[in-house]
């Protein structure tokens, strides 16, 4: 259920991204998703990435926070937690991402 809610956030925040592509990556066994939840269980956002463990890096496919939750610092927290998780669980040292001209924001 959380992944479907996350798919809806990705679709809304990334309107030029085909929904079929989002679903294919989000539900693919090689991709992992970190989901940010409110205390009541509502999905606020997430990051979906693929780990290339032998090479020591991960590729971020999607990163989005619900528009009602932006500018509250949740994106930074989510990215920091995802990096910590990837280092600890997947033994990654770097993240690779790509943003097109329609993307808003940045990664630090």
Strands 43-52, 31-37: pairing kind: antiparallel
Tokens of 55: 């090479």
> In 3-state terms, what secondary structure has residue 101?
coil
Catalytic annotation, pick one of 20, 59, 69, 84: 59
Angle at 37 between CA 7 and CA 50, to 5 degrees: 50
- The Cα 93–Cα 91 span in angstroms is 7
Our answer to whether residue 69 is catalytic in this structure is no
Write out the H or E segment, with its range, that includes residue 6.
helix 2-13
User: Catalytic amino acids?
Assistant: 59
């Amino acid at each position: 259920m959380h992944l479907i809610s996350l798919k809806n956030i990705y679709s809304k925040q990334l309107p030029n991204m085909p929904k079929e592509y989002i679903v294919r990556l989000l539900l693919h066994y090689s991709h992992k998703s970190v989901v940010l939840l409110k205390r009541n269980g509502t999905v606020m956002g997430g990051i979906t990435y693929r780990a290339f463990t032998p090479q020591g890096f991960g590729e971020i496919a999607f990163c989005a926070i619900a528009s009602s939750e932006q500018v509250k610092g949740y994106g930074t927290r989510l990215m920091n937690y995802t990096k910590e998780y990837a280092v600890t669980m997947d033994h990654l040292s770097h993240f690779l991402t790509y943003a097109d001209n329609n993307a808003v924001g940045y990664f630090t």
